[in-house]
Structure 1
Amino acid sequence: MAKERRWWPRLPRWAVSLTWKAAVFIVGMCCVLAALLGTLVHAAVTSQTVEQAREKALGRLAEVTDAYKSGEPLPPYASVDPAELPGSLRALAVSGERGTVVNTYNGRPTMWAAGPADGRALAVRVDYTLSARTITGLDRAILGSSVLAIGATLLVGAFAVTRVTRRLHLTAQVARRISAGDLDARINDPRTRNPARPPDEVATVSVALNTMASSLQNKLLSEQRFTADVAHELRTPLTGLTAAAELLPEGRPTELVRDRVRAMRSLTEDLLEISRLDAGSETVDLDLHELGRLAERVVRASGTETEVRVVRDTVVETDRRRLERVLGNLIANAHRHGRTPVVVTVEGLTVTVTDRGPGYPAYLLEHGPARFRTEGGSKGHGLGLTIAVGQAAVIGARLRLSNAPGGGASASLTLPSNPVRTPRSPLA
């Protein structure tokens, strides 16, 4: 299907902001309003000025007409059939009508008035320069005042809109902090602190977001406490169950019971570990370790057929127990859900675990590991990768999950060059 082509150019990022749109709207409305008011004032003043000049010219025309009829000499501003008289006014006077028109005389604005005089045109002229200057000055005053009004309105509007957009940006920042795991983040909007002040729309959104964050935090804390309490309560009966299973006579049923008890015990320990990670109370025990040798030790302890490739070894300062836990979970996950060969590659500060299986499912790559969720009928509880992500965050490492181009899953653990000594809660 052909992609639809847009005929309009792509706007820059700053042009789509609310402040820019508000500024354009304010300027546009001010220009329209200034043009409308300016046109009305110009039309009214021009009409009044022209009417005054016309009455003056017609009054002079009446005086000159009486003087012409009585045979008196005409004043300097009057004459019969002057050459400068506009043709339209001349024709009107010859036809027996009287009229006025604004034109020029010797390059100066002039109001002409003409009437009939024995088949000819008797015309008078009135200097229109002062009236024309008045209209021109008025137009300049209207233009200048409009520019000042637009500028002042734009400044006031930008200030008001900026206050709103600043509060919206603060709301967006707090929302991003909450989505990143900082459930203690809240919007400190002054309109929400004083109940006597009526809230506006932004304050309403702020209150809703704060309420949502509080509800989410309380729910997560309740789930964390429930998980920790359940795990702690299960340890005592599981210890007794383990001891009782060891007293059973040897046989296939006994092996099945012992296997299920070990699985229950492993699940309980995983739940306890996740509850500690959720609480954010974990501390690191830093020491210097050779990364290649540490990876080889983890592979030997796993008891699996895993190849170790040390491309470039290095010495890292990290928490050995937590790093071994992360690598052990990644290797176990590769053998449980992938296919051999499983390869652990050490290259500088990065350790990569790859397999030749079907790869990670789409939901995991998009949203990260989910507790108690596995793909299809796979064995496990979905806690291995969750613990790996949490322990990696505790030691300040970055775990990236991806699918290799040639097939299979790839988990890359990049250790920090500077260790993290006071980590925050990685699974909050």
Structure 2
Amino acid sequence: MRPALPQWSGTLAAKAAAFITVMCCALAALLGVLVHVQVTNQTVGQARDQALQRLTQAAERYEAGDALKRGGGVDPPGLPPPLRNLAVSGDRGTMVADFEGRPTMWAAGPADGDRALAVAVDYSQQARTIAGLDRAILWSSGLAIGATLLVGAFAVTRVTRRLHTTALVARRISAGDLDARVNDPRTDPRTKAPARPQDEVAAVAAALDSMASSLQGKLLAEQRFTADVAHELRTPLTGLHAAAELLPPGRPTELVRDRVAALRTLTEDLLEISRLDTGRERLELDTEQLGPLAERVVRGAGSDTEVRVVRDVAVETDRRRLERVLGNLVANAHKHGRGPVVVTVDGPVVTVRDHGDGFPEYLVVHGPQRFRTEGGAKGHGLGLTIALGQAEVLGARLEFANAADGGAVATLRVPTE
């Protein structure tokens, strides 16, 4: 089963969208503030100049004893107290305040005595202009942010989609599918246009494809070498076995025959591994009871192994391959562990446990590796490799672990459907 890919690409898109949103909001706020301040200063400045001009005219009429025009007077009602205090102290100034429900620009200056001469200019139009400008800034900023988000999301989604495809291909390769390739259009010289140069994602995809091709070539060369060596050894081993059978009885003859038999077993194991590597194995399915099948394997091994059937179940499987898996697990438990060795059948789950020193750490983490042993163990590391390969052909899952109280535990989960 292909491992599921976590949704990291959605997280990257969300981070990119958040970054774009923050930057757009910051830029829109900065531009909005600059425009608001500039226009407000200009509008207020014009209204202030107009109010001060009318205050000058009112002061001239007041000094000449003429009647003041509408909107001007001495200490008129509605004059803001801070502005009146400023005028009484001898200075001139302006101030915006509400008067009779409307925004008004006041201008005031000193008059005779402790009084202030002031004029009021309607500021409603300027206030509406500034308010309209603020609304326009908000709407245009919102539209700009939305448009930028759409364009940014489109661009980021294209990148994350390509990264997502590359990650899926990498996971397929790690799962054993060495034919998987990204085939990014930017990395294919037949489709790459001059206007679309390679980017970083295309470089990663090209590196992954190159790595997969190199890895596939090396593995195929290794498989061919293993198969060729095993095939070439069969003929001389057959002759050597026949010659050993003609030797006179005795201890030297027994040693020669034992070594020849071990070499023939190794050769057959190598041939089986080469067939598993090339994927040429085909299943011959039949319905089997796991309990009796485990008992047959133990009897055939001729070893002192206890079989416990907690719950028997019938499964559709390849009997020969399943017996090969269980036989290798039992043989490995007796060869590298210590008794008692117990085979437990609990439904479609079969466990083989010994009470030795347990599996090496590398085997528990990475699985069995051919021709690798540790701790002075004898063997070539092929038995468990074959068991794992045959289990994959069966569609079963074989796991290796160490028991908490000591000993190695191999767990085979046989598919029931």
SS for the counterpart of 1:388 is helix
Residue equivalent to 2:331:
332
Q: For each residue in 1:224-280, what CA deviation from the matched residue of structure 2 results, as whole angstroms up to 9, or x when unmatched?
A: 000000010111111111112222222222222221111111111000000000000
Residue equivalent to 2:132:
137
- Return the offset for 1:29: 0.6
- Return the offset for 1:153: 1.1
- Return the offset for 1:316: 2.9
**Pair 1:172 & 2:167 matched:** yes
| TM-score scaled by length of structure 1 | 0.91
SS for the counterpart of 1:198 is coil
- Return the offset for 1:46: 0.7
Give, as a single letter, the amino acid of the residue that structure 2 aligns with 1:20.
Answer: A
- Return the offset for 1:309: 2.3
Answer whether contact 2:9 2:164 (CA < 8 A) is retained.
no
d(CA) in 2 for partners of 1:356, 1:39: 77
- Return the offset for 1:70: 2.1
Matches within 5 A, 1:24-423: 24-119=18-113, 120-193=115-188, 194-196=191-193, 197-418=196-417
- Return the offset for 1:146: 1.1
d(CA) in 2 for partners of 1:344, 1:298: 10
Between 1:112-121 and 1:350-359, the stretch displaced more is 112-121
Distance 1:311 1:124, change over 3 A: closer
Distance 1:242 1:42, change over 3 A: same
Give, as a single letter, the amino acid of the residue that structure 2 aligns with 1:250.
Answer: P
**Pair 1:23 & 2:17 matched:** yes
Q: For each residue in 1:89-119, what CA deviation from the matched residue of structure 2 results, as whole angstroms up to 9, or x when unmatched?
A: 3333334433222223223211111223334
Answer whether contact 1:399 1:414 (CA < 8 A) is retained.
yes
d(CA) in 1 for partners of 2:57, 2:291: 118
d(CA) in 2 for partners of 1:322, 1:21: 50
Distance 1:16 1:397, change over 3 A: closer
SS for the counterpart of 1:17 is helix
- Return the offset for 1:14: 7.4
Distance 1:93 1:413, change over 3 A: closer
- Return the offset for 1:387: 0.2
SS for the counterpart of 1:255 is helix
Residue equivalent to 2:4:
none
d(CA) in 1 for partners of 2:347, 2:243: 48
SS for the counterpart of 1:406 is coil
Answer whether contact 2:230 2:268 (CA < 8 A) is retained.
yes
Q: For each residue in 1:327-355, what CA deviation from the matched residue of structure 2 results, as whole angstroms up to 9, or x when unmatched?
A: 11111100001111112222322222111
Answer whether contact 1:15 1:21 (CA < 8 A) is retained.
no
Identity of aligned residues (%): 72
SS for the counterpart of 2:342 is strand
Q: How much is the aligned-residue C-alpha RMSD, in angstroms?
A: 1.9
d(CA) in 2 for partners of 1:108, 1:325: 97
Between 1:43-52 and 1:404-413, the stretch displaced more is 404-413
Residue equivalent to 1:422:
none
d(CA) in 2 for partners of 1:80, 1:289: 114
| Structure 1: runs of 5+ lacking an equivalent | 1-12, 419-428
Distance 1:101 1:15, change over 3 A: farther
SS for the counterpart of 2:204 is helix
- Return the offset for 1:15: 11
Answer whether contact 1:14 1:20 (CA < 8 A) is retained.
no
- Return the offset for 1:311: 2.8
d(CA) in 1 for partners of 2:230, 2:27: 71
Distance 1:296 1:55, change over 3 A: same
Distance 1:15 1:61, change over 3 A: farther
Give, as a single letter, the amino acid of the residue that structure 2 aligns with 1:27.
Answer: T
d(CA) in 2 for partners of 1:317, 1:72: 117
Give, as a single letter, the amino acid of the residue that structure 2 aligns with 1:176.
Answer: R
Answer whether contact 2:395 2:414 (CA < 8 A) is retained.
yes
| Structure 2: runs of 5+ lacking an equivalent | 1-6
Distance 1:14 1:247, change over 3 A: closer
- Count of residue pairs brought into register by the alignment: 407
Q: For each residue in 1:155-205, what CA deviation from the matched residue of structure 2 results, as whole angstroms up to 9, or x when unmatched?
A: 211111111111111111110000000001111322223233311111110
Q: For each residue in 1:93-151, what CA deviation from the matched residue of structure 2 results, as whole angstroms up to 9, or x when unmatched?
A: 33443322222322321111122333432211101111111111111111121112111
